[in-house]
Structure 1
Amino acid sequence: MPAPAFPDHTLESAPDAARRSMEAVVNKQGHLPAAVSRLATSPQLLDGFLKISAIFESTTLDPLSREVLIMTIATRNDCHVCVAMHTAKLTALGADADLIAALRTEAPLPTERPEAVRQFTLAVIATAGAVDDAALRDFLAHGYTPQNALEVVLGIGAYTMSTLANRMTGAPVDPQLAEFAPAPM
């Protein structure tokens, strides 16, 4: 049950400034995710997240690398909604089940290139962006570019925003994603 401060808005009950963003999500996904209905309490946060996540999706990082980054943030920040959503995305991308399982448990990944982006993401967070030369060299040695390094920062920003907001609002996993939800603790 959401805290009264974070109701499950509908298109009719949401603040006017949130409705266009909500409608765009419904048109894209075919339903209104609970996380979006709660984030609508702040139209600016909802709009900002949707815009920054769309920008992140347009980066030169390949789709698997983007999802590895997102899952790294989601598990680190214990966002069950994001873990479910991005497990579904990884599954749709055809990601290996062992890779998905490792991401969900914050374990080292079974392949080097995805592990390099996971490690670099964690290094950027741990150092507040002041990664040492060795961390950057290792990331670049796996076929990533200096542009990709900065795109990692963009992804961290976008998905830190959503994971913290989803946790604050107590957003539940939607029924469409139930099969991908983390096991309750």
Structure 2
Amino acid sequence: MPEFTYHTKQSAPADSQDWLPDGFIPNLHAVMAESPQLLAGYKSIWELLSKSSLSPLHQQVVMMTANFENNCHYCVPWHSYLMAQEKMPENIINALRDNTPTDDKQIEALRTLTRALLDNRGHAGDKATQNFLDAGFTNQNLLDVVLALAVKLMSNYTNAITHTTLDELPKKDWDWSKPVNV
């Protein structure tokens, strides 16, 4: 298995340096810096997602669903931490971490659609798509789910390949491993 460098701003390739902050660098970004194009693409798409038609909570539902399905040991804790920092409902955070249903019809429609997209390689099916739209989402929201999944493909796959070490910040309260019977 190849070993990956956790780059600092100084050790990163020149084309990655502008994409890294001067202070704290999450380990995912430090590893991604090995490929300036991956780091730039990831950070650019993350920024675009933040401006999408999906609310911050809905963005997190998509991302956490992907994190769970992709068994991302790194992203589930980080997104749990981010959701808690944004004062998102704890019952939603825990349901997404455990892959259990929520009592919110709209969030469930979003979670179900996201799982269908992941499980069927983009072919969610008419029923999941219609259920999503019937829950109050729009066609633009539907396409922005694809944008959120693009962000997760980059981070989840990078973490799977590199076995990225979880940073201490989310690890303290949010360490995670996929439940055995799921």
Q: Report the TM-score when normalising by structure 1.
A: 0.89
2:48 maps to: 55
Residues 32-181 of structure 1: matches in 2 within 5 Å? 32-178=25-171, 179-181=173-175
1:18 maps to: 16
CA drift of 1:183 comes to 5.1
How many pairs does the alignment contain? 178
One-letter code aligned to 2:24: H
One-letter code aligned to 1:88: Y
For the residues of structure 2 that align with 1:149 and 1:18, how far apart are their CA atoms?
32
CA drift of 1:184 comes to 8.5
CA 1:75 to 1:131, structure 2 compared with 1: closer, same or farther past 3 Å? closer
One-letter code aligned to 2:80: T
For the residues of structure 2 that align with 1:90 and 1:63, how far apart are their CA atoms?
9
Where structure 2 has 5 or more consecutive residues not aligned to the other structure, the ranges are: none
Q: Report the TM-score when normalising by structure 2.
A: 0.90
One-letter code aligned to 1:155: A
1:182 maps to: 176
Report Cα offsets for 1:27-71 as digits up to 9, x if no partner: xxx411111111111111011101011111110111111000000
For the residues of structure 2 that align with 1:80 and 1:125, how far apart are their CA atoms?
18
Report Cα offsets for 1:86-114 as digits up to 9, x if no partner: 10121122222221111001112231111
Q: What is the percent sequence identity of the aligned residues?
A: 32
CA drift of 1:4 comes to 5.4
Where structure 1 has 5 or more consecutive residues not aligned to the other structure, the ranges are: none
Report Cα offsets for 1:8-31 as digits up to 9, x if no partner: 1111111111100012xx4xxx41
8 Å CA contact 2:109, 2:131 repeated in 1:
yes
Structure that is richer in helix per residue:
1
